[in-house]
Structure 1
Amino acid sequence: MITLHHVPQSRSMRVLWLLNELDAEFRVVEHPFDRSLRSPEFLTLSPAGRVPALEIEGERMFESGAMVEYLCERFPERGLGRAPGDMDRMAWLVWVHFAETVSQHSATLTQQHIMLYEDSMRSPLIMRLEAKRLEKCYAAIEARLSTPVENRDYLLTAGYSAADICVGQAVYMARHFAKLDDFPETAKWFARLTERQSFQDALPQPGGMRLYEQDFYPAWAD
């Protein structure tokens, strides 16, 4: 049995989305985004007190990129990974891990907008800089999707993969802080992803826990 420890709308969402696509047997344990992630019990699963944490047949994993690589190797028949020697292997690795670049800027903005409760604790400069850095990430995705390759609907030449899941989930978080209005190909790609049932099933349940109470958090003084 696979057990995913998950905080809705966090990085663990990418692993939940992937598990949905894999049709794997798994269960989800939801956690609030609070000090309980620092409990001695949870730290045995994830020593930095972060999600996701994954339990598989007595073994434990605590880095989402590693989970994605491992799960794609464990379920190769689903075609979401790219094996060594595949023409898309290099690009697959790059985009799977580029998701963390996007997520790091979103994490900083999540802290600024949500975790710091007093205006005096927040930095308008950091908010504006990090929102602009997200737009730089969007520009990289836009350039990839604008490459003149036939049927470039997804990040890889051979089509949909876990790279789209990872970057798509990172963009899902990022859109709370930076809009896609100036990135038409990225917006169309993201719309294709969000139509998938596997994505819909990874969203917070109605009335359930969520990290973001607003759809969009504008940069300070915007």
Structure 2
Amino acid sequence: MIRLHHIPFSRSFRILWLLEEMGLEADLKHYSITDGSLRASEFKAISPVGRVPALEIDGKTIFESGAIVEYLAETRPDHGLGRLAGDAERVPYLEWLGFAETQASILASLNMQHLFMGDPTPAAPVVLKLEAARLGATLKAMDRTLGERDWLLESGFSAADTMMGFNLFSAPYYVAMDRFANLAAYRARIEARPAYQRAREKDGKQEFYKKDFYAVPEG
């Protein structure tokens, strides 16, 4: 049995999508960010800091999306979604896995400040402006790369692309995307993938965003 501990529209979508690309069926155990279930001792026995994703597979329980992606790609190499040691693209593959987490950490900061901080401790506009600029810089770097190829690696689609499943669908809430034509085309290619479509159908309704765009407040 494979079980994915999951919150819709979160980093755990990366794993849901990768499992679909591999044709692996998982039992989804859904959580909410608002009902306290992530803080329960039962869940912290699975994921020590109370975060999704966590994946039960092969008699193991693995947390952290980057670690799960590497494990799945390396233990199931026949799918060709990883770049193993000795592969010419091993270094850029690992770089993109790390890049995705750098970008996700900025998104997490923006989520926290826009969505979960309010009176009496609202986020400072200058901090929000800086974080949005940092996110924009990472998107600009991606856009430049994707002007030269369809996927993050020259050889084609890989698990590194699935690491962007959460990022590219959260970034537009904080950064105007109309200046990133290559990223728009990349997102369209992602959305056209049958495995992505199946994963999105299983994902569930997102509970994070109440507005279409979160501008930096005046102040």
TM norm structure 1: 0.90
Match of 1:16 in 2: 16
Residues of 1 paired with 2:58 and 2:161: CA distance? Answer: 27
Correspondences of 1:68-83 after superposition (within 5 Å): 68-83=69-84
- Greater Cα offset, 130-139 or 57-66: 57-66
Match of 2:85 in 1: 84
Does the CA contact (< 8 Å) of 1:144 and 1:155 recur in 2? yes
Residues of 2 paired with 1:218 and 1:40: CA distance? Answer: 37
List gaps (5 residues or longer) in structure 2: none
Residues of 2 paired with 1:9 and 1:26: CA distance? Answer: 17
Q: Which whole-Å deviations, capped at 9, do the CAs of 1:144-202 have from their partners, x for residues lacking one?
A: 2234xxxx111111001111111243121222211221121122112211222322333
Match of 1:59 in 2: 60
How much is the aligned-residue C-alpha RMSD, in angstroms? 2.0
Residues of 1 paired with 2:59 and 2:103: CA distance? Answer: 31
Match of 2:25 in 1: 25
Q: How many residues align?
A: 218
Deviation, 1:36, is 1.6
Q: 1:120 to 1:169 in 2, by over 3 A?
A: closer
Deviation, 1:69, is 0.5
Aligned partner of residue 83 in structure 2, secondary structure: coil
Deviation, 1:119, is 7.3
Q: 1:88 to 1:207 in 2, by over 3 A?
A: closer
- Greater Cα offset, 76-85 or 128-137: 76-85
2:169 maps to 1:161: no
Q: Which whole-Å deviations, capped at 9, do the CAs of 1:80-138 have from their partners, x for residues lacking one?
A: 11111112111111101211111111111111111124375222112111111110001
Does the CA contact (< 8 Å) of 2:173 and 2:213 recur in 1? yes
User: Aligned AA for 1:181?
Assistant: D
TM norm structure 2: 0.91
Deviation, 1:46, is 0.3
Residues of 2 paired with 1:123 and 1:203: CA distance? Answer: 34
